[in-house]
Structure 1
Amino acid sequence: MTIHNLSDTTSILNTFIAELRDVSIQKDAMRFRRNIERIGEILGYELSKSLNKKSSSVKTPLGVAETPLISEDIVLCSILRAGVPLHNGLLNYFDAAENAFISAYRQHKEDPESFDIVVEYLACPSLEDKTLILADPMLATGQSMLATFEALLPFGKPKSVHLVSVIGAQKGVDFVVDNFPENTNLWIAQIDSELNEKGYITPGLGDAGDLAFGQKLQH
């Protein structure tokens, strides 16, 4: 797997990450969603540089311009619900992409520190020989990302796989490196060093789904 950690280079991306983490700014849910969306746009732009292109002729009022355009068929898949703003940011740039959505959540056992990943809803087009972009803003343990990928396999074998996350823990990054196909690419805005005892990224930013859409009742 190739890891593209955008925080290796200082850019305006760092400002959006800092605002996502800031406990005073993240109280504004609309700004929180918009910052994730903007990070999705940046990650999508960087990802686009790696895709295959073909020359295309574009007729202008004064002649014909030869322009290299992306030639791959793209499917964007996000993990509900936290993945929606990130999905929107990617879709702003890959606006011709097909779309898939999946729900994957942690189902805790009697021990609050252990859990299973449960997939309950999935809508997906054919993935056969297409480019799959799998988006989840928080890459904590990596188990949700893997469970989602495995749930998508009956829909066809993608030509290539790109994972997109906003913040990850090193443990989660190591997990996807060990469990995804070798030709997978990970595009991530920032990597934190630790997971706490409950499997949450630290320093992280909290629960991205709750911050974007409001707290949920547990059942």
Structure 2
Amino acid sequence: MSQSLPKNVHCSTHPCLQAKLSQLRGASTNARETKALVHEIALIIGCEALGAGLSATAGSTSKTPLGYDFTTTEILPSTISIVPILRSGLGMLDAVQTLLPNPVPVHHLGLFREPTTLEPVEYYNNLPHHRVATSTSTSNSGASDLAILLDPVIATGGTCAAAIQTLKEWGVKRVIVIAILGAVPGLERAAGEWPEGVEIWVAGVDKAINDRGMIQPGLGDVGDRLFLTIGK
């Protein structure tokens, strides 16, 4: 499967992650188990994504409890933000916050897929100082160097692509997308939105989507499973 994906899409082969993804797919997995599995999968794939997307640099000098000097380690880039897509991206937030050594801003994007056209509609955006770049001004104050976009399921790719475009307009230099499951067509669409600025890391890949824009075999609607709104 991996050889058919764009170069900026990375599918994990971690055996523990693959086993957890299999557990998450099950219809009998309840909301409590779903929440735990989403967190654990996000922790593993997030570790892989940030291991490749961040770098370490020497920081200031500090002391150990025994009084010895040591040089601290800091991460680059210096400005990072986490951007979960509402609602389901919230299930991955704690995992990524756990991985980062220091707190970073969390900016939420609210997007839903219009049922008829399957195209994304933005209903909430709290990126600071967000505005569309113009031909005379391409930088936006408040933009992070790196945005970590949390989108658990990339089916048609429309929502993820729209979020990437919004972050690009905001002025970020790079986007790391962390996902749990993606369909090949959706991953191709999202990866092609900004190929030079985006890296997508996903725990698993399925080949197709159905006529309702759901991944086959997939794992259902993660937001509904997390928040017990199935059948809404």
Q: Same fold (TM over 0.5)?
A: yes
* Alignment equivalent of 1:121, drawn from 119, 124, 127: 124
1:64 aligns with 2:66: no
Contact 2:120 2:159 in 1 (8 A): yes
Runs of 4+ in 1 over 4 A off after TM superposition: none
1:150 aligns with 2:165: yes
1:169 aligns with 2:172: no
| Structure 2 counterpart SS, 1:206 | coil
In the TM superposition, what whole-angstrom CA distance separates every residue of 1:91-130 from its partner, at most 9, and x where no partner exists? 2222512111111001223xxxx33311111112365351
* Alignment equivalent of 2:220, drawn from 206, 210, 213: 206
In the TM superposition, what whole-angstrom CA distance separates every residue of 1:10-57 from its partner, at most 9, and x where no partner exists? 421122101110112x2x101101111111111221122221221133
Task: Report the count of equivalent residues.
Answer: 209
- Pairing 1:1-219 to 2, within 5 Å after superposition: 2-6=8-12, 9-24=13-28, 26=29, 28-50=30-52, 51-56=54-59, 57-62=61-66, 63-72=68-77, 73-94=79-100, 95-109=102-116, 114-125=117-128, 128-155=143-170, 157-215=171-229
Cα 1:153–1:183 shift into 2, 3 Å: closer
Cα 1:217–1:205 shift into 2, 3 Å: closer
Structure 2: state its 5+ residue gaps.
1-6, 129-140
Return the structure number with greater strand share: 1
2-structure distance, mates of 1:86, 1:147: 19
Contact 2:80 2:144 in 1 (8 A): no
Contact 1:127 1:158 in 2 (8 A): no
| Structure 1 counterpart SS, 2:39 | helix
Structure 1: state its 5+ residue gaps.
none
Amino acid at match of 1:123: N
CA RMSD of aligned residues (A): 1.9
Among all aligned residue pairs of Structure 1 and Structure 2, give the percentage whose two residues are the same amino acid. 28
**TM-score relative to the length of structure 2:** 0.83
Amino acid at match of 2:110: S
